Amino acid sequence: MKLSKNIQSTAKKVLSQEAEAILRVSDGIDSEFEACVEHLLASKGRIVFTGIGKSAIIAQKIVATMNSTGTPALFMHAADAIHGDLGMIQDGDAVICISKSGDTPEIKVLVPLIKRTGVTLIAMVSNKQSYLGQQADFILHALAEQEADLMNLAPTTSTTVALALGDALAVCLLECKGFTAQDFAKYHPGGALGKRMYLKVSDIYPQHDFPVITPAASIQEAIHEISSKRLGATAIVGENNQLVGIITDGDVRRMLEQHSNWSEIQLADMMNRTPKTIEADAFATEALAIMQSLNITQLVVTENKKAVGFVHLHDLLKEGIV
């Protein structure tokens, strides 16, 4: 039990220390941070992130965040830069170098080479007075006075602070650019959010055979169509595929409950003449909203006032819309 308490205490201490460090960095956001953001907004190039060790890993994550939020960015490992990767830097780019101390040998070798290219150098550093800090055009002050481990050795607080500061930078850039949810979806077409933003009913309904009968069909034919197409309903169409009504499996069950001699029932006696529909070019999210509001599981899809198919709640579940 004592060991368990020690583990819990250590975990809470680490989280508290890192949270407090982020708050200190937040308090240090000043006009230089704002000037740095404005410079990057005015820049016509990319942002090249570089670092070594754990800082390199943090740099890669920030690059991913930047690219997904509309700010072109790439990663250059500090050690590989002096062996050819420096060539990825182009005119108009800005380089953000992440380093807690700002005085590591690799950084001291790399910084003059970056400066020689003529691009803007931005330091994300804890020690402003370090070599990197003194050489940089802008400083993003990632202050981390103490790592979270007892020996003050393992990159913990410092990497957390750098990551959070990178997120702050990315969000400032996206908000200043007016980056929208639609823009985000464009860069995330495979994700659920992306699908919510671009997937249309017309992308879904052709996946099924269209259960459809004419007004002259029998009840048996209607039941067969509902069962064989496995969408829980069938549309009833007249000339030129004009929608006349719909019969669902629920309509069939209610008909069987209410009539002992169901062979005498006509199609017109049980069909819904005002079925809920949705246009083929509507977004899938609109279909979901209608189904949820009316507590139904399918909609007839129409195109130019003609019935063309069904969209089912299961389709939206499969696509990750729900």
Strand partners, 212: 235
How much is the pLDDT for 98?
Answer: 97
**Degrees to nearest 5, angle at CA 182 with 177 and 186:** 95
The side-by-side arrangement of strands in the sheet containing 73-77 is 73-77, 47-51, 94-99, 120-125, 138-141
**Which of the following CATH numbers is that of domain 198-319: 3.50.50.60, 3.10.580.10, 3.40.50.1390, 3.80.30.20?**
3.10.580.10
How much is the pLDDT for 191?
Answer: 58
Helices 219-229, 249-258: crossing angle, 10 deg rounding: 140
Whether the CA torsion 56, 158, 102, 38 is positive or negative: it is positive
* Total-model pTM: 0.68
How much is the pLDDT for 130?
Answer: 97
For the chain, domain boundaries: 2-179, 198-319
Q: Are 42 and 17 in contact (CB under 8 A)?
A: no
Q: Measured between alpha carbons, how far is 163 from 63 in angstroms, rounded to an integer? A: 11
Q: Which string of b and e fits 209-243 if b means at least 16 CB within 10 Å?
A: ebbbbeeebebeebbebbeebebbbbbbbeeebeb
Nearest to 44 by CA among 90, 109, 6: 90
Q: Are 233 and 222 in contact (CB under 8 A)?
A: no
Place of tokens 């830069």: 81
Place of tokens 């990315």: 170
How much is the pLDDT for 192?
Answer: 57
Neighbours of 254 (CB within 10 A): 12
- Cα of 254 vs its chain's centroid, Å: 44
Q: Which structure tokens are listed for 61?
A: 């994550």
- Measure the CA dihedral 52/125/139/93, to 10°: 10
How much is the pLDDT for 45?
Answer: 94
Neighbours of 145 (CB within 10 A): 13
Q: Does domain 2-179 have CATH number 3.30.300.30?
A: no
Mean pLDDT by 10 residues, the chain (322 residues): 73 95 96 97 95 96 93 94 90 96 94 95 97 97 93 93 97 91 66 68 92 89 90 91 90 79 75 92 91 92 92 87 68
Q: Amino acid identity of 146?
A: Q
How much is the pLDDT for 5?
Answer: 66
Q: Which structure tokens are listed for 66?
A: 């930047």
